[in-house]
């Protein structure tokens, strides 16, 4: 069994895989990480391998606990990858982006795939039908846009993300919701259209924390997969184990 740990900017995603199948997953705070791990180890004594992908902070004590209890792989630019990485600056490429492209290479082998990860940031990553990762783009995520409106203006309130009922906002709050959500939707549809003008046989995957809010409102046809990053991390762990 494999333990998957994705340390994000504000939360930690955990999952257990066995023979490529997702058995359990959860999202926890940094404070609950150690307690959750202890509980999972007791329930799943067959866990032997683990992968850690971190774009956020992780305590040295938690790191030591993982390395002491498991055959731990830390995902980095030095990891063996199941695709050809054509990114010009691989050492600056986020491990979360490596993971979703790995999932694309696993689930859609030798296809042109655009993966959109809608989280703290919105990332667009493209792998072609030659199994080559070419790069992509990074844009502010939905929550970040709400925060920016509040932080960099004098009077606009900080709101929680919410799907607008209509295009035209009739109050300040509804205008913010319409501006942020419709702005993101049109951005995503526009980027997808640009890619499809170059690759007509494009497959588009939408994942990340805000995928549920966005998926049914896009004009373009997409596949929504909330576990895509976790799948990719498990695939990378297995790939590095086989490569050893």
Rounded CA-CA distance 167/222 in Å is 22
Q: Which two tokens stand for residue 168?
A: 């035209």
Beta strand 203-207 with 132-140 is unpaired
User: Which 8-state DSSP code applies to residue 8?
Assistant: -
Distance of alpha carbon 217 from alpha carbon 113, whole angstroms: 20
Q: Cβ-count burial of 17 within 10 angstroms (0-12 exposed, 13-18 middle, 19+ buried)? A: buried
Which candidate in 6, 26, 71, 96 is catalytic?
Answer: 96
CA dihedral 7, 8, 11, 16 (to 10 degrees): -40
Exposed/middle/buried for residue 55 (C-beta within 10 Å: 0-12, 13-18, 19+): middle
Task: Please give the sequence-ordered ranges of beta strands (E in DSSP) within the chain, or none if there are none.
Answer: 2-7, 12-18, 21-28, 49-54, 71-74, 84-85, 113-118, 121-127, 132-140, 203-207, 223-224
Give whole-number Cα distances, 140 to 54, 94, 115, 121, 126, in Å.
Answer: 19, 15, 16, 5, 18
DSSP 8-state symbol, 79: S
Asked about 96 being catalytic, the answer comes back as: yes
Nearest to 127 by CA among 108, 151, 154: 108
Active-site residue numbers? Answer: 96
């Amino acid at each position: 069994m494999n333990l998957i740990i994705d340390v994000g900017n504000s939360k930690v995603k955990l999952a257990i895989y066995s023979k490529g199948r997702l058995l359990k997953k959860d999202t926890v705070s940094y404070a609950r990480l150690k307690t959750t791990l202890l509980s999972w180890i007791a329930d799943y004594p067959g866990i032997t391998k683990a992968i850690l992908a971190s774009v956020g902070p992780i305590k040295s004590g938690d790191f030591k606990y993982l390395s002491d209890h498991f055959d731990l792989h830390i995902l980095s630019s030095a990891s063996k990858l199941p695709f050809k990485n054509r990114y010009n600056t691989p050492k600056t490429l986020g491990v979360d982006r490596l993971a979703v492209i790995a999932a694309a290479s696993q689930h859609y082998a030798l296809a042109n795939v655009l993966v959109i990860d809608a989280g703290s940031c919105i990332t667009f990553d493209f792998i072609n039908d030659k199994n080559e990762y070419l790069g992509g783009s990074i844009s502010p995520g939905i929550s970040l846009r709400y925060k920016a409106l509040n932080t960099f203006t004098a009077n606009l309130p900080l709101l929680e993300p919410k799907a607008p009922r209509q295009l035209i906002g009739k109050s300040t709050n509804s205008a913010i919701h319409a501006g942020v959500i419709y702005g993101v939707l049109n951005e995503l549809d526009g980027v997808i259209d640009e890619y499809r003008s170059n690759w007509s046989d494009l497959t588009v995957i939408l994942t990340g924390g805000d995928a549920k809010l966005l998926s049914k409102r896009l004009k373009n046809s997409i596949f929504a997969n909330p576990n895509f990053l976790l799948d990719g991390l498990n695939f990378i762990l297995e790939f590095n184990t086989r490569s050893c």
